Amino acid sequence: MANDSAALRTVELYDTREGRQKPLEPRQSGHVGMYVCGVTVYDLTHIGHARVYVFFDVVERFLEHLGYDVTHVRNFTDVDDKIINRAEETGDDPLELSARFIEEFNEDMSALGVRHADHEPKVSECIDEIIEMNETLIERGYAYEVDGDVFYRVEEFDGYGKLSHRDLDEMEAGRSGRTEDEADDKKKHPFDFALWKSSEDDELGWESPWGWGRPGWHIECSVMSTKFLGECFDIHGGGSDLIFPHHENEIAQSEAANDCEPLANHWMHMGLVNVVSEEDDEVEKMSKSLDNFWTTRDVLDEFDNEAVRYFLLTAHYRKPITYSMDNLEEATQRVEYLYATLERIGERLTQLGHTEGDSLPDGELVGSVASTVTGFLPKFEAALADDFNTSEALAVLGDLAKAGNELATEVGSTNPNASPEDLAFSLVAIESHMRKAGSILGVLERPYAEALREIRNLKLQDRDITPEEIEELIAERKEARANEDYERADAIRDELVDHGIELMDKDWGTLWRAR
RNA sequence: GGCCGCGUAGCCAAGUGGAAAGGCAAGGGCCUGCAAAGCCUUGAUUCGUCGGUUCGAAUCCGACCGCGGCCUCCA
């Protein structure tokens, strides 16, 4: 639902093309069209993909929170040489192979809390429109056919290079390392690129005016964005490695075929995910050739889903982020802290006589936390409205959680400085604000007991002790403590610590967690 | 060679012209039978180096050093 006061907030977004941050002014008031380049589905997703789609999920959630109606389009490139090659290796049908990896993609994204886009078109379902755009480009003189291939004539498009801030002559000078391929002979300019590629009769393909063939790599995004968002739209996103040539070519195609420019008002490009090299400790780009590659699946097997999402939001989206065990563990710890805060708030509310689902208690914010609570949402929104400063947003959320813990301590003290009504009112206010912020970032969406248990059990995976054994030891220690046999009680604690298990004594029992 | 970007405490990370957010780790304290968790508290006279602009710069300009990305498929 639109929130009138929030909708007035100006959202500023960086735009790669102009190289500056500028206000989001939707072409259609109150409606934002956003196209995010999807994956080529020939393998499992990696953590770099995860970063992109988690981020744009947050963009969508936040804009909707502000009251915008967002149309989010994310494609699947299911026709591509890499898919065809992979299918040849495995003996699969290319479209069946890509369909399988679309399912894998969806599984990963669902685990990360990434919601489906409004439209998720596939290349194989847009062949007619792709052929049409090719014909338009040929008619308008921007493309030419050579022996069943269709190429885009880059010299014909005046603005070629305006996104990546380079010009054709400079690029030509620097292309010494490029490998030649047979298609180069057919091209009129080395940077001309394929809009349509001829296929062998037994290869994946479709009938076209130029014979049996398949689309080139860039054309599908121009076609799909036009189809679902119109000729021009507000936000176009993807990894920064797509700036050239993919997005540059998209602009060339769309702006030449349609009569609208700029194609997108805001080009938002994600920093890449780096890893620390095991050999020399240097940061390097994650890539298959360096064998430092992390699939989303592997990471999710080892770390809590939400911790992975949290980690991906700890750095600003335009900066690179380094994947490391330390960083993931720290993110896990923060997620645990946030849920433990919700747990503590729940305990204190129970102690104050409130049960979950009760109507809001009447009261006033306790003085010590009042400014933190009232200032929370404005600060949180301001952080995200400033080119999605998620680091700042998480810091603000952390401050709120701290206020919650402060209050929880207050409630537990012998002489609370506030009335039970005000304390309860304040606790509920903090809890609801935390959940609200969580729903925008896509975190804190689980019941705390469930989240804490899942994190705990995941960590226990590589420990040589089971929850049952831990519970037995806790029971034995309880007995010892009742008998004031602290020596035995401490011995049990030490034994558990050796297994990486920490005990936390509460008034009502003993909790444990894995470190 | 061209283009884009980065270099902030032991580590992660915001800030980009007007008193250096936040987190992790570390020290001290409260709490606890002891702990853990939580809370409080300490910590960059300083933001790669050297110059310049300015009343004032981590923030702008220049040079230099170091690092990364793109220019070939890539999120």
We report the CATH number of the domain holding residue A384 as 1.20.120.640
> Of the given ranges (A32-41, A143-152, A258-267, A361-370), which has the lowest mean pLDDT?
A361-370
At residue A432, the pLDDT reads 96
Q: For residue A297, is it within any domain?
A: no
At residue A3, the pLDDT reads 43
Who's near A61: CB < 8 A, 6+ residues apart? A115, A439, A440, A441, A442
Q: Measuring CA to CA, which residue among A76, A200, A198 is closest to residue A134? A: A198
At residue A296, the pLDDT reads 96
Q: For residue A156, is it within any domain?
A: yes
Q: Which nucleotide is nearest to A47 (CA to C1')?
A: B75
CA of A454 to C1' of B36 (A): 20
At residue A288, the pLDDT reads 72
Tell me the C-alpha distance between A58 and A145, whole Å: 42
Domain ranges, residue A170? 4-271
Q: For residue A426, is it within any domain?
A: yes
Q: For residue A315, is it within any domain?
A: no
Contact A153, A252 (CB under 8 A): no
The average pLDDT across A261-267 equals 95
Q: Kindly give the residue spans of alpha helices, DSSP state H, lying in A240-304.
A: 248-257, 296-302
Q: Kindly give the residue spans of alpha helices, DSSP state H, lying in A19-148.
A: 47-65, 81-90, 94-111, 127-139
Q: Kindly give the residue spans of alpha helices, DSSP state H, lying in A352-447.
A: 367-385, 390-412, 420-441
Co-location of A441 and A467 in the same domain: no
CA of A480 to C1' of B75 (A): 56
Tell me the C-alpha distance between A340 and A357, whole Å: 19
- Predicted complex ipTM: 0.96
The region, left, alpha or beta by phi > 0 then psi within -120 to 50, assigned to residue A93 is beta
Q: Is the pLDDT of residue A369 over 90?
A: yes
Q: Which nucleotide is nearest to A290 (CA to C1')?
A: B74
Co-location of A481 and A377 in the same domain: no
Co-location of A163 and A264 in the same domain: yes
Does residue A119 lie within 7 Å of nucleic acid chain B, judged by its CB? no
Tell me the C-alpha distance between A68 and A4, whole Å: 11
CA of A15 to C1' of B16 (A): 17
Co-location of A73 and A192 in the same domain: yes
Contact A292, A275 (CB under 8 A): yes
At residue A292, the pLDDT reads 81
Which 200-259 residues of chain A approach strand B with CB closer than 7 Å? 217, 238-246
Does residue A135 lie within 7 Å of nucleic acid chain B, judged by its CB? no
Does residue A326 lie within 7 Å of nucleic acid chain B, judged by its CB? yes
- Point out the domain boundary residue: A393, A421, A446: A446
Co-location of A35 and A182 in the same domain: yes
pLDDT in tens, A487-514: 999 999 999 998 989 999 988 889 999 8
At residue A172, the pLDDT reads 67
At residue A8, the pLDDT reads 55
Chain B bases having any atom below 7 Å from a protein CB: 1-6, 11-15, 21-25, 32-40, 67-75
Q: Measuring CA to CA, which residue among A284, A328, A288, A285 is closest to residue A310? A: A328
Does residue A409 lie within 7 Å of nucleic acid chain B, judged by its CB? yes
CA of A316 to C1' of B43 (A): 26
Tell me the C-alpha distance between A515 and A493, whole Å: 14
Co-location of A428 and A467 in the same domain: no
Q: Is the pLDDT of residue A219 over 80?
A: yes
At residue A182, the pLDDT reads 56
Q: Is the pLDDT of residue A2 over 60?
A: no
Co-location of A165 and A216 in the same domain: yes
Q: Which nucleotide is nearest to A510 (CA to C1')?
A: B36
Contact A193, A250 (CB under 8 A): no
Q: For residue A380, is it within any domain?
A: yes
Which 461-490 residues of chain A approach strand B with CB closer than 7 Å? 481, 486, 489-490
Q: Which nucleotide is nearest to A387 (CA to C1')?
A: B14
CA of A320 to C1' of B7 (A): 13
Q: For residue A266, is it within any domain?
A: yes
Who's near A238: CB < 8 A, 6+ residues apart? A36, A37, A52, A246, A247, A269, A270
Helices A47-65 and A367-385: angle between axes, nearest 10 degrees? 110
Q: Which nucleotide is nearest to A481 (CA to C1')?
A: B33
Going by pLDDT thresholds of 50, 70 and 90, the confidence category of residue A362 is confident
Q: Which nucleotide is nearest to A288 (CA to C1')?
A: B74
Does residue A51 lie within 7 Å of nucleic acid chain B, judged by its CB? yes
Q: Is the pLDDT of residue A12 over 80?
A: yes
Q: Is the pLDDT of residue A151 over 70?
A: yes
At residue A372, the pLDDT reads 96
A294: helix, strand or coil:
coil
Give the other-Cβ count within 10 Å of A441's Cβ. Answer: 24
A185 or A232: which carries more pLDDT confidence? A232
Tell me the C-alpha distance between A111 and A495, whole Å: 35
Q: Is the pLDDT of residue A360 over 90?
A: no
Co-location of A46 and A152 in the same domain: yes
At residue A6, the pLDDT reads 45
Does residue A327 lie within 7 Å of nucleic acid chain B, judged by its CB? yes
Q: For residue A299, is it within any domain?
A: no
**Residue A222 corresponds to which tokens in the numbers above?**
């121009």
Looking at the structure of chain A, the number of domains it has is 3
Co-location of A230 and A124 in the same domain: yes
Mean pLDDT for all residues in chain A? 92
Co-location of A241 and A360 in the same domain: no
CA of A326 to C1' of B10 (A): 14
We report the CATH number of the domain holding residue A157 as 3.40.50.620
Co-location of A261 and A345 in the same domain: no
Q: What backbone phi and psi angles, to 5 degrees, belong to A28?
A: -120, 115
The average pLDDT across A70-98 equals 96
Residue that the structure tokens 């994956």 belong to: A39
CA of A266 to C1' of B2 (A): 25
Which 163-192 residues of chain A approach strand B with CB closer than 7 Å? 164-166, 170-171, 173-175, 177-179, 191
Q: For residue A427, is it within any domain?
A: yes
pLDDT in tens, A113-134: 999 999 999 999 999 999 999 9
Q: Count how many Cα atoms sit within 13 Å of the Cα of residue A188 in the half-sphere of its side chain.
A: 13
Co-location of A154 and A227 in the same domain: yes
- Point out the domain boundary residue: A392, A413, A446: A446
pLDDT in tens, A174-217: 554 444 555 667 899 999 999 999 999 999 999 999 999 999 99
Does residue A48 lie within 7 Å of nucleic acid chain B, judged by its CB? yes
Distance (Å) of CA A468 to CA A452, A465, A474, A495 = 17, 8, 10, 15
At residue A174, the pLDDT reads 52
Contact A264, A258 (CB under 8 A): no
At residue A230, the pLDDT reads 97
- Point out the domain boundary residue: A418, A446, A474: A446
Q: Count how many Cα atoms sit within 13 Å of the Cα of residue A61 in the half-sphere of its side chain.
A: 22
Helices A486-498 and A467-482: angle between axes, nearest 10 degrees? 160
